[in-house]
Amino acid sequence: MESQNDLLTSVIENVQDIESSRELLNEFIENKSIEVIYAKPIIQNFLKYSKYDFVTFKTFYDKLFFAHKAVEDEVGVSIMLNEPITAYGEKHQLDLSKAFWRSIQKYKANEIEKDFNNYLF
């Protein structure tokens, strides 16, 4: 009887952890304006492949943000992925999402020979 109680307690705590993580993720996404800048496809991929784990999601975001800023610094231009005036904003957002997805697929297939964090960058 006690083991069933422990199991139920564990399930309840797990559900609470998942809910807390989702709330934290939603707050982070909103505070960083991720959806506005990078669009829904990248968020959906980040959520899916992080399995809604905040630390993993944040790692994915940090790599994308750092790479975005590094490219801007390298070319000396501000890259506005959310600019509605440019016809390419939506295309670039989708391209980012596809590139991330390909990276995950290569990682799952053990096709990445170096550190995944470096590859993701």
Q: What is the mean predicted confidence (pLDDT) over 98-108?
A: 83
d(CA 97, CA 40): 9
Which pTM does this prediction carry?
A: 0.73
39-64 pLDDT, tens digit per residue, is 888 899 899 988 998 888 998 999 88
| Average pLDDT of the residues in 77-82 | 76
- With 0-12 CB in 10 A as exposed, 13-18 as middle and 19+ as buried, what is 20? exposed
- DSSP 3-state of 74: helix
Q: pLDDT tens-digit profile of 10-43?
A: 545 555 677 888 889 999 999 998 888 888 888 9
Query: What are the extents of the domains in the chain?
Result: 2-120
